[in-house]
Amino acid sequence: MSEKPSADAIALGDSEKSIAPLRYSPDVASEQFRQEVESNRSSLRGRNLTWAIAFVTGTGFTLFGYDQGVMSALLTAGQFEKVFPQVVVGPEQPPNHATLQSLLVAIYELGCLAGALSNLWIGDRLGRRRTIILGGVVMIIGAILQTASYSYSQMLVARVITGLGNGLNTSTVPSYHAECSPAAKRGALIMIEGSLITFGIMWIDFALFWAKGSSAQWRVPIALQIIFALIMIIFINFLPESPRWLLKTGQSARAMAVISDLEDKSIMDPDVQQTFHAIKEAVELEEGTSIDEADGKRHPAGKASLRELFTNGRSQNFRRVALGVVIQCFQQITGINIITYYARDQTILFENLGISDVKSRIIAACNGTEYFLASFIAIALIERVGRRKLMFFGSVGQTITMILLAILGSIDNSAANVISAILLFVFNSFFAVGWLGMTWLYPAEIVGLRMRGPANALSTASNWTFNFLVVMVTGPSFESISWKTYIVFASLNAFIIPCVYFFFPETAGRSLEDMDVIFALAHLEGVSPVAVSLRKDIPAAGTPEADRILGVTNVD
């Protein structure tokens, strides 16, 4: 077979696709292999296994949301201010207190950034499960240190340590979940993780309002993180490792066992065989050999290197990694953290409207609840309408909302403030539908297996980098240009819309290996991957016609 398939080999007719023979892996013919597969099968299978994985990964993201929400609530807790007077902001306080308060919130993002980047080196070595366990253990250590803090500097160090663990988790959990999910349900399952971020944020401020008598007002809520982390660490030991990582590390029998357990089918079932063959083929293609674009020939690839992140060819590594990094950046520059991290400002706003202290906190908590409920819309729609349409919907709505907030901010009267408070709910809704879970789902889908670990580390690092920048800039921005800050974020949201249209391929309904086929075909035809992703005639990974597109030499 030639190194580059002909146009005829790529553009196969529908009739040939429909009768393409199923190719069973030669391994299955071995009785020893079958026995090894059976010995690795789990008691949890099918739907039960799928939901068990969703529960554990969801717990990880509830922990993520809780850790974000608890600090924004603590900043106005009386007992917290007593122990850490540096966070108290007001006209009678030193001017550097606003910066010190922002630093206490934002330094967590620096820890998360370091944790995400560490996955460049340890993620593929430890595997998905052990990396998540390590992240959970580090978060427990950080939570203990935060709970026991008696000085501002001690709390800063503890926040960084907690962030290290969360960075490991947020750069691993979505990949693990995506690699263990069927294509038809993957989007909805991972969108649940996004919903649980908001679940972790709800009602914390209101609950803390009543605990005024001792430092338990803030120590107990911080310590509660440990419960979520322990649940995640304990129960993930009962779950299988990612079949993609198992095949990548040469554990074929264990991988086959996981695939058949997830499908709850025999290892001889055609669906199980095709999934196994597609993943194994992707591993062999990426781990065993690579195409040198200079001479068009295959050479030993060896282990993945960071330099490969900047290559293109059929794998389109640079384009795919860039998409993962950019979409995480986009989530943060929407301006969601104006509301999330500075949720206390909602309470102040409601109090300024003449609403009582208790009622203002109830309304602010209801905002978080509505945010959580709105995220269920994305779960229901993600597989029906696809990723791109939800991103469009969210960005357009967020742009309009920011423009209205800017207009109302310039008016600044009682009626305008009431409408602005309502618009906080509206912005949360658009974000929950379009961008909340999307940026954790899409990077895990868009990148090939060989680069998935490093790419998710970089994309998550992008999230935390821009998270830090937005948190640090928002306070000073409102002090300097007031309502005009909303104009900046409206412009950024508007910028996202054409970027999604021209550069982001659709991934709905595709297996993770199908995306390799789409990018390879786009490269061979010299067209945009976006256009190819919207076509209905793309052969499924693991079929002979897909092999020809990928340049696999062992096609029957």
Question: Does residue 122 register a pLDDT over 80?
Answer: yes
The reported pLDDT for the residue numbered 355 is 59
DSSP code string of 483-532? THHHHHHHHHHHHHHHHHHHH----TT--TTHHHHHHHHHHHHTS-HHHH
**Element (H or E) spanning 289, and its range?**
strand 289-292
Question: Does residue 132 register a pLDDT over 50?
Answer: yes
Q: Who has greater pLDDT, 448 or 412?
A: 448
Q: What type of residue is 540?
A: A
In whole angstroms, how large is the CA radius of gyration of the chain?
25
174-189: pLDDT as tens digits: 999 999 998 888 999 8
Residue 302 is classified by DSSP as: -
- pLDDT bracket for residue 432 (50, 70, 90): very high
Q: Which of these ranges, 207-211, 349-353, 412-416, has the smallest mean pLDDT?
A: 349-353
Q: What's the rounded mean pLDDT across residues 227-249?
A: 94
The reported pLDDT for the residue numbered 3 is 40
* Whole-angstrom distance, CA of residue 164 vs CA of residue 187: 27
Q: What's the rounded mean pLDDT across residues 275-283?
A: 86
Q: What type of residue is 416?
A: A
Residue 534 is classified by DSSP as: T
* Whole-angstrom distance, CA of residue 415 vs CA of residue 84: 36
291-307: pLDDT as tens digits: 444 444 444 455 566 67
Q: Who has greater pLDDT, 386 or 13?
A: 386
The reported pLDDT for the residue numbered 216 is 83
Q: Who has greater pLDDT, 72 or 449?
A: 449
46-243+319-503 CATH choice from 1.20.1250.20, 3.40.640.10, 3.30.360.10, 3.40.50.300? 1.20.1250.20
Q: Who has greater pLDDT, 426 or 18?
A: 426
- The strand pairing partners of 382, in sequence order, are none
Q: Are 524 and 4 in contact (CB under 8 A)?
A: yes
Q: Are 455 and 309 in contact (CB under 8 A)?
A: yes
The reported pLDDT for the residue numbered 118 is 93
Q: Who has greater pLDDT, 514 or 17?
A: 514
The reported pLDDT for the residue numbered 552 is 73
- pLDDT bracket for residue 356 (50, 70, 90): low
The reported pLDDT for the residue numbered 506 is 97
Q: Which residues of 55-84 are buried (b: 16+ CB within 10 A; e: fewer)?
A: ebbbbbbbbbbbbbbbbbbbbbbebbbebb
- pLDDT bracket for residue 5 (50, 70, 90): very low
The reported pLDDT for the residue numbered 35 is 87
CA triple 139-192-498, angle to 5 deg: 105
Question: Does residue 155 register a pLDDT over 60?
Answer: yes
How far apart, in Å, are the Cα atoms of 388 and each of 208, 212, 508, 537?
39, 47, 9, 19
- The strand pairing partners of 291, in sequence order, are 298
Question: Does residue 363 register a pLDDT over 90?
Answer: no
Percent of the chain with pLDDT over 70: 83
Question: Does residue 9 register a pLDDT over 90?
Answer: no
* Whole-angstrom distance, CA of residue 431 vs CA of residue 17: 40
* Whole-angstrom distance, CA of residue 359 vs CA of residue 76: 16
**Mean confidence (pLDDT) of the chain:** 83
The reported pLDDT for the residue numbered 451 is 84
Q: Which of these ranges, 21-35, 219-233, 427-441, 536-550, has the smallest mean pLDDT?
A: 21-35
- pLDDT bracket for residue 320 (50, 70, 90): very high
Ramachandran region, residue 46 (left: φ > 0; alpha: ψ -120 to 50; beta: rest):
left
Q: Which of these ranges, 109-113, 211-215, 396-400, has the smallest mean pLDDT?
A: 211-215
Q: What's the rounded mean pLDDT across residues 41-49?
A: 90
Question: Does residue 345 register a pLDDT over 60?
Answer: no
Chain centroid to CA 242 = 17
462-477: pLDDT as tens digits: 998 998 888 778 777 8
Q: What's the rounded mean pLDDT across residues 5-15?
A: 38
Question: Does residue 507 register a pLDDT over 60?
Answer: yes
**Domain residue ranges of the chain, discontinuous segments joined by +:** 46-243+319-503
Question: Does residue 52 register a pLDDT over 90?
Answer: yes
**Element (H or E) spanning 373, and its range?**
helix 357-385
Question: Does residue 336 register a pLDDT over 50?
Answer: yes
Nearest residue to 124 via CA among 292, 286, 303:
303
Q: Who has greater pLDDT, 421 or 387?
A: 387
**Element (H or E) spanning 290, and its range?**
strand 289-292
